[in-house]
Structure 1
Amino acid sequence: MASLILTLVGPDRPGVVRQLSEEVAARGGNWLESRMARLAGQFAGIALVAVPRAELAGFSEAVAAYQSGGLRVLVQEGSAQTVSIAHTAFQVELIGQDRPGIVRDITQALANRGVNIEELTTDVLSGSFSGEHLFRAEIRLRAPAAEAVDLVREDLERLGNELMVDIRTSEPDDGTE
């Protein structure tokens, strides 16, 4: 089986995921993981699927035909490279008044400490009492070592004060049980 990463963008309509999942199943493949959303009237997503190697060309050709319906699908074969076992996972939750540059500032602090983002989910909400826009982010991270988590916490605490946002971090998980 080949691991394929599918990136999807196109006009939102019912049945987009069904159509793609039927193509995966018809080729003897398996849908493994995905993140999909409606953004600004468009459907956008990323999926990890496994398809038998003998079906790769046919699968890629079939999803390329979706272009005529306005859905762009980029098919990228995943690598067999494995992630290093030495890591420390943790999560960050952030909420505060929305303003340009929040994602840039947070991700810069993470990158400066060698911390990798495994998953980032953001949205803008209307404050329940004030009606002002609130920015919310949930971030799943992987640090090179437990010491980096403490440094990132300090950096984020300072940054939270500057940005006037509340930031909470989870206790690190070193991957051992």
Structure 2
Amino acid sequence: MDQFAIVTAFGQDRPGIVALMADSLYQLGCNIEDSCMTRLRGEFTMMLMVRLPQGLDAEALGHRLTASTRSLDLAVLCRALPDQAALRLHMPELPTFMLSVYGADHPGIVAQVARTVAEQGGNITDMNTRVIGSGEVPVYVMVLEIQLPQDRQADQLKQALEALKPLLGVDLTFRPLDSVTF
């Protein structure tokens, strides 16, 4: 049975991080199955699900990647995935929505929006946030992808989110996302 690991790497953004990580994994016989990478201001971070070759476990992979990426001063973490976590299962098509939140930056926006989504049975499957604008007038932007179980009504979640607008001083848009299958 195939073995899988989650690899997380982060460090100061610079050219060559993706190339070095991908080549290091390839040289070790790993296959990159899924990935998510982004830059957070001056830092770069990546998460990868990799299929491990026979004879290489997640702990050894972490040590070898740390050594091979030392030139870029990356922090590398590896964790073995349980067999069931790495299985490619056909997932039922769940209604998916996009939520965009804009407003003056202040603590608690993510916490209150995430709590509201969870209370309504929603699952946040992707989230990106940024502070934009000038330092004097920062604007917080948050974009979330949310799945709702078939038994939950989108209107109930939308109403709960609308109630947050005056409390958080934000504007939000909640809309269905067209179905995309990878």
Query: In structure 1, what is the Cα distance between the partners aligned to 2:166 and 2:150?
Result: 25
Instruction: Provide the rounded CA distance (Å) in 1 between the counterparts of 2:151 and 2:177.
Output: 7
Please give the TM-score of this superposition, normalised by the length of structure 2.
0.78
Shift of 1:171: 1.9
Tell me how far apart the structure 2 counterparts of residues 40 and 92 of structure 1 sit (CA, whole Å): 23
Equivalent residue in structure 2 for 1:74, among 73, 77, 84: 77
For 2:166, the equivalent position in structure 1 comes to 161
Deviation at 1:84, TM superposition (A): 5.8
Contact 2:96 2:145 in 1 (8 A): yes
What is the match of residue 100 of structure 1? 107
Change (3 A) 1:122 1:76: same
Query: What is the correspondence of 1:27-176 to structure 2 with a 5 Å cutoff?
Result: 27-56=28-57, 58-65=60-67, 68-69=70-71, 70-79=73-82, 80-81=84-85, 85=92, 87-126=94-133, 132-171=137-176
Number of residues paired by the alignment?
Answer: 173
Deviations 1:93-148 (A, max 9, x none): 11122222111110111121222211110001117xxx721111111112223524
Contact 1:94 1:167 in 2 (8 A): yes
Taking a change above 3 Å as real, the CA distance of residues 72 and 162 of structure 1, as seen in their structure-2 partners, is same
d(CA) in 2 for partners of 1:15 and 1:67? 10
RMSD of aligned Cα (Å): 2.9
Contact 2:95 2:176 in 1 (8 A): no
Stretches of structure 2 lacking an aligned partner (at least 5 in a row): none
Structure 1 counterpart of 2:14:
13
The residue type equivalent to 1:139 in the other structure is: L
Structure 1 counterpart of 2:172, which letter? I
Deviation at residue 55 of structure 1 after TM alignment = 3.3
* Aligned residues of 1:120 and 1:140 also touching (Cα < 8 A): yes
Task: Please state whether the residue corresponding to 2:159 is helix, strand or coil.
Answer: helix
Partner of 2:55: helix, strand, or coil? helix
If the length of structure 1 is used for normalisation, what is the TM-score?
A: 0.80
CA distance in 2, matches of 1:34, 1:86: 22
Q: Is the 8 A contact 2:24 2:68 kept in 1?
A: no
- Look up the equivalent residue of 1:51 and give its one-letter code: L
Structure-1 separation of matches of 2:151 and 2:165: 21
In structure 2, distance between residues paired with 1:170 and 1:54: 47
Q: Which amino acid aligns with 1:18?
A: A
